[in-house]
Chains A and B, each alone.
Chain A
Amino acid sequence: MAHIVGGITTSHVPAIGRAIARELQQDPYWKPFFDGFAPVHTWLEQARPDVVVVFYNDHGLNFFLDKMPTFAVGAAPSYVNADEGWGIPQVPAFPGEQHLSWHLINQLIDAEFDLTTCQEMLVDHAFTLPMALLWPDQNWPVKVVPVCFNTVQFPLPSAKRCWALGEAIGQAVRTWQTDDGREPRVLFLGTGGLSHQLDGERAGFINKAFDLQFMNSLIEDPKWATQFSVHQLVEKTGTQGVELLMWLATRAALGEQVRRIHQNYHIPISNTASGLMVMEPVQG
């Protein structure tokens, strides 16, 4: 049976890619953000994940408005990124873990989630940059399963639904058995948020108090954010702050209780309040 080693949640912003490409990690503007990842690297060395299930949202690379799935699960042998419109630096391809993809798909359909399944899938900065923050040498030591959430076109899935999806994925991973009897080590990675708004007269809106309360709730009272409608989440966190839905799914996948291994919070990078957490499940 598979073993869940933990969950990491982090912001994703295209500007991170430019900062990496220009090697600005020690630049005063970027240092407080990149320094947050040193403890993550140490933790990853002992956690040694084999597979990463990545909860993220596509920004108009793989999906357009002609076909907009609420939840899409990748089932491809490998995943590449591509030009998103501003010549973002490319990263090496990510090897897929197709057996886990299909196990998740089967289990989730059984649990009555209606999914879109993708045997070809481009992954954008919301996927690639957090991976590059975890493994800066970009020599990926893991296979991946992308799970994409619609945060582009309303109606978006509710916080409650995203929690339920994460929970179902966690349960499915715990029952995953490989043919060769290995016990794969699985990491969840949730990308996005925290509070920010890119569009409209309210552009630049950030809510530090809510972000800190939300991060804390993931440890103390993990379903706290599921009380809010998506509309309320937009009001409290901005139009792109709803990306915290992927954080919620990540937390839900980890099970009943977690311990906080590491946390970092910094404002701003680009237009975003950036958050970072590492959590480990506590066996009950």
Chain B
Amino acid sequence: MPTETPIPGTTLFDGTQAMKGYALNKMCYSFNSAANRVAFQQDEDAYCTRYQLNDAQRNAIRNRDVLGLIAAGGNVYYLAKFAGILGLDVQDLGALQTGMSKDAFKAMLVAAGQ
């Protein structure tokens, strides 16, 4: 059991998340291969079936729902490979997760340096 106070807006990728997200992360890990990225793009649903994603994971993949992917056990290091297929960089992901425009998100990062 976690004994420390949760950090707002933050999911630590612990054993619970690792068990929950194994299939999803395994699929994302497969995207290290360009051939697998093409196979996913040709038939996303079939690819999700091959990796036995559950409904929450499939929906989050279908909807490009980054927070949903994390809630479903996704780990950001592997999800980054999915984002790569979509042509998104980590600033796009930051904007998607915080509900900001990309420009607003970038401005927030710059402001952190002032």
Contacts and interface: CB of A to CB of B under 8 A. Distances in A.
A interacts with B? yes
Interface of A: 14-15, 59-61, 64-65, 82-87, 152-155, 197-206, 208, 229, 231, 234-235, 239-240, 266-268, 270-271, 273
If over half of B's interface residues share one DSSP class (helix, strand or loop), that class is named, otherwise mixed; here it is helix
A230 B95 CA distance: 26
A260 to B, nearest CB: 21
Contacts, number: 132
A262 to B, nearest CB: 19
B81 A271 contact: no
Contact of B34 (A83, A205, A206, A239): A83
Contacts of A202: 7-10
Contacts of A15: 89-90
Given A83-B33, A85-B80, A153-B75, A200 B9 contact: yes
19 contacts: A65-B22, A83-B32, A85-B28, A85-B31, A85-B80, A86-B80, A87-B84, A152-B13, A153-B14, A198-B80, A198-B90, A199-B11, A200-B9, A208-B112, A234-B10, A234-B12, A239-B12, A267-B112, A271-B90
If over half of A's interface residues share one DSSP class (helix, strand or loop), that class is named, otherwise mixed; here it is loop
B12 A60 contact: no
A19 B112 CA distance: 22
Interface of B: 4, 7-15, 18, 22, 25-26, 28-29, 31-34, 37, 66-67, 70, 75-82, 84-85, 89-91, 93-94, 97-98, 105-106, 108-110, 112-113
Contact of B105 (A86, A204, A229, A235): A204
Contacts of B85: 85
Given A14-B90, A234-B12, 8 more contacts: A15-B90, A60-B78, A85-B31, A85-B85, A86-B80, A152-B75, A199-B70, A234-B10
A85 B112 contact: no
Choose among A204, A231, A239, A266 the residue with the greatest number of B CB atoms under 10 Å from its CB.
A204
Nearest to B88: A86
A47 B46 CA distance: 55
A206 B18 contact: no
B94 A271 contact: yes
Contacts of A14: 90
A268 B112 contact: yes
A53 B34 CA distance: 31
A86 B77 CA distance: 12
A60 B32 contact: yes
Given A198-B76, A267-B113, A153 B13 contact: yes
A155 B34 CA distance: 31
